[in-house]
Structure 1
Amino acid sequence: MPQKDPCQKQACAIQKCLQANNYIESKCQAVIEELRKCCARYPKGRSLVCSGFEKEENQTLKSPAK
């Protein structure tokens, strides 16, 4: 049986928040930050829902400073 994703709860909370706020991301920053904190607690690849943040971080690191 596959292990439960450790950050699934936070990911679901983001979806609920976004739906409740007409997908205005700025209204869900606190919930998004909770997912970031959860993702930071686990090694890369441990949480499938964190893969988007990992990709975002990689792109930020590769982008030249403005």
Structure 2
Amino acid sequence: MPQKDPCQQQACAIQKCLQANKYIESMCEDVIREMRRCCQAQTGNSICCSGFKDSQPADEKSNT
């Protein structure tokens, strides 16, 4: 039996939040932040993190 993805709950929370807020990402910053934390903690263990592994929150990106 395959193991449940450790970040699936956070990924589902993002989808639910985005749907509830007409896909306005700024309304879901807290759940997106939780997904990033999970992906950092579960590096290599979560398929849900494939789109998050190289991304950074907007406030951490350099302004160059």
Number of the residue aligned with 1:20: 20
Give RMSD over aligned pairs.
1.4
Alignment: residue pair count: 58
Structure 1 unaligned blocks of 5 or more: 58-64
Q: Normalised by the size of structure 2, how large is the TM-score?
A: 0.81
Q: What percent identity do the matched residue pairs reach?
A: 64
Q: CA deviation at 1:55?
A: 3.9
Tell which structure's C-alpha radius of gyration is larger: 1
Return structure 1 stretches of 4+ with deviation > 2 angstroms. none
Structure 2 unaligned blocks of 5 or more: 57-62
Q: Normalised by the size of structure 1, how large is the TM-score?
A: 0.79
Q: CA deviation at 1:8?
A: 0.3
Question: Greater share of helix residues, 1 or 2?
Answer: 1
